[in-house]
């Protein structure tokens, strides 16, 4: 069985890096599943810059650099190209950032987008799960 391919939304990454309770436990679970090779997990390149910006405010420059470095060791990056941006512009999303993440997810061929903001991805053709939901789906595949 091939591993599920996921793309994490920015909010899930921030939950992980900034230990935002009560959401951090599911984010840690996804990071663990990725480290164990049970799933292949992507981040949008735009999420990486956003996470660094916000982590720098909370952790300082060195802390933010270390945190982003850990993300890059664990997760793959979905590139944001001209094609991805043009595709995002053509989508019927209320929020352009969500449209870019959706287009990046489509571009790298993920099976699902993982977010705490499912409403932002209503127009997505890709299945959307919350972190706890996708952890349940991963567990169900293992049985």
Structure tokens at 25: 């436990």
Domain count, the chain: 1
Per-residue pLDDT of 44-94, as tens digits, reads 999 999 999 999 998 899 999 999 999 999 999 999 999 999 999 999 999
CB 40 within 8 A of CB 4: yes
Cα–Cα distances in Å, from 111 out to 8, 23, 44, 68?
A: 11, 22, 15, 24
d(CA 114, CA 27): 10
Predicted pLDDT of residue 142: 76
Predicted pLDDT of residue 124: 97
Token look-up 């650099």 returns 65
Looking up residue 81, the CATH number of its domain turns out to be 3.40.50.1010
Per-residue pLDDT of 82-114, as tens digits, reads 999 999 999 999 999 999 999 999 999 999 999
Residue from 44, 39, 33 nearest 11 by CA: 44
């Amino acid at each position: 069985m091939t591993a599920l391919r996921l793309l994490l939304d920015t909010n899930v990454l921030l939950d992980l890096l900034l230990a935002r309770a009560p959401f951090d436990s599911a984010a840690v679970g996804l990071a663990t599943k990725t480290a164990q090779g049970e799933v292949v997990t992507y981040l949008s390149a735009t999420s990486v810059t956003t996470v660094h910006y916000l982590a720098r405010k909370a952790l300082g420059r060195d802390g933010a650099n270390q945190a982003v470095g850990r993300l890059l060791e664990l997760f793959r990056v979905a590139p944001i190209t001209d094609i991805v941006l043009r595709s995002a512009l053509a989508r019927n999303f209320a929020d352009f950032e969500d449209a870019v993440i959706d287009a990046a997810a489509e571009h790298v061929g993920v099976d699902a987008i993982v977010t705490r903001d499912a409403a932002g991805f209503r127009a997505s053709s890709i299945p959307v799960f919350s972190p706890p939901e996708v952890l349940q789906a991963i567990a169900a595949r293992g049985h």
